[in-house]
A and B are shown apart, each in its own frame.
Chain A
Amino acid sequence: MTRSWPEGIGSGSPAEEPEIDAHVVEALRALDPCSADEGYWSRFRAAVLRRAAPELARRRLAARVTVAEVLASWARTVVPTALLAAAIAGVVLMKAREAPAPRPVDVEEMLVAGMEGSSIPATLGGEGTDAGAVTFAMGTF
């Protein structure tokens, strides 16, 4: 078998270069793996797809996850954490309630608190004083 190529293929300037050079095209066909093996490209594609299968599966899985599923996955972590926090808060509140509430203290009491001796006597007569007499400090007039 002999090859035949069209005559008159330009070899001038790049601008004159024909779009198709059947001579070169025909020759380069010999480099196409498909020229010796027709099923080559199908097998090539099958090999690529076989090796790509895990990555494609990963992408499918990632794409299938919806907003609800993301929230649900968060809930799996957030709900137990919230429950634990609520329990701790409850225990703290209970302990706080068990402690006695502070008694209201008036000003005078605050001033004499911790001082020895009796408190300031009443200015007006009380028990054990002469009736009608004015009592001032510790003296009777």
Chain B
Amino acid sequence: MKTSEPTDDAELVRRTLEGEESAFGALVRRYQRAAYAVAVSVTGRHEDAEDAAQEAFLVALKRLEECRAPDRFGGWLMTIVRNRARNLVRRENLRDMDPMPLGARSTTRPPDRSTEDAEMRALLERALAELPEVQREIVLLHDMEGWKHREIAERLGLPAGTVRSHLHFARKALRKVLEPMRDPSAGRKAR
């Protein structure tokens, strides 16, 4: 329930420290999408992103005493997500001995509702794979999760101007790739 959910991360962290399940559930609800966005920006794969995001929440719970600024739980959690995702990619690369570029990996996701969605996803994954990790993360947090520049800057520890700049270049690259989709006839001609 939204009415009973406090808006303050610090309060939720304090109650989670005492083992209150609803408080931890509220933190998960609040940050699950962002955690997934950060994880997918690193792994490029749905399953890995899901694993990394879930594991990050569990690691955060176990190490909650180490969260020095509970009011900035989100930023602290994103650092854990990023590290878990990077470890996962490293482990997989070692296991496969075949480091594949992001977006070039096979992705098994929930089935797409339409061919158009599948095409769009494939295009996006390829476009995102071309971006530096920080740009991927920023564009996903801003344009997929709806975070504000200020929030991203605060949680990623970057100046707001840098966030704006990364967002600009990330969007520019995505627009270029998505351009054929804006005009389906042009897209068909191109194919």
Contacts and interface: CB of A to CB of B under 8 A. Distances in A.
Contact of A33 (B21, B109, B114, B169): B109
Interface string A12-34: 01110100010111011111110
A56 B16 CA distance: 8
Given A2-B184, A23-B178, A55 B110 contact: no
B167 A27 contact: no
Contacts of B76: none
B67 interface: no
A59 B17 contact: yes
Contacts of B172: 11
A24 B19 contact: no
B123 to A, nearest CB: 8
Contacts of B164: 14-15, 17
A63 B40 CA distance: 36
Given A48-B28, A51-B58, A55-B62, A33 B175 contact: no
A35 B28 CA distance: 19
A74 interface: no
Interface residues of B, number: 52
Interface in B103-140: 109-114, 116-117, 120-121, 124-125, 139-140
Interface in B12-28: 16-21, 24-25, 28
Contacts of B167: 14, 17
B165 interface: yes
A3 B182 contact: yes
Interface residues of A, number: 44
A13 B168 contact: yes
Nearest to A17: B168
A8 B139 CA distance: 19
A31 B125 CA distance: 8
A76 interface: no
A9 B18 CA distance: 48
Contacts of B121: 30-31
Contacts of B125: 31
Nearest to B165: A14
Nearest to A57: B19
B174 A24 contact: yes
A63 B65 CA distance: 13
B149 to A, nearest CB: 8
B46 A55 contact: no
A32 B62 CA distance: 28
Interface of A: 1-5, 9, 11, 13-15, 17, 21, 23-25, 27-33, 35-37, 40-41, 44-45, 47-49, 51-53, 55-63
Chain A to chain B: the 5 pairs with minimum beta-carbon distance, closest first = A59-B19, A60-B19, A14-B168, A37-B110, A36-B110
20 contacts: A2-B184, A9-B175, A14-B164, A14-B168, A15-B164, A24-B139, A25-B144, A27-B178, A30-B121, A31-B40, A31-B125, A33-B109, A36-B110, A41-B33, A45-B28, A55-B62, A56-B19, A56-B21, A59-B18, A60-B20
Given A24-B171, A30-B117, A60-B19, 18 more contacts: A3-B181, A14-B167, A15-B164, A17-B164, A23-B178, A28-B139, A29-B144, A30-B121, A30-B124, A31-B40, A44-B28, A44-B36, A44-B54, A45-B29, A53-B21, A56-B61, A57-B19, A59-B16
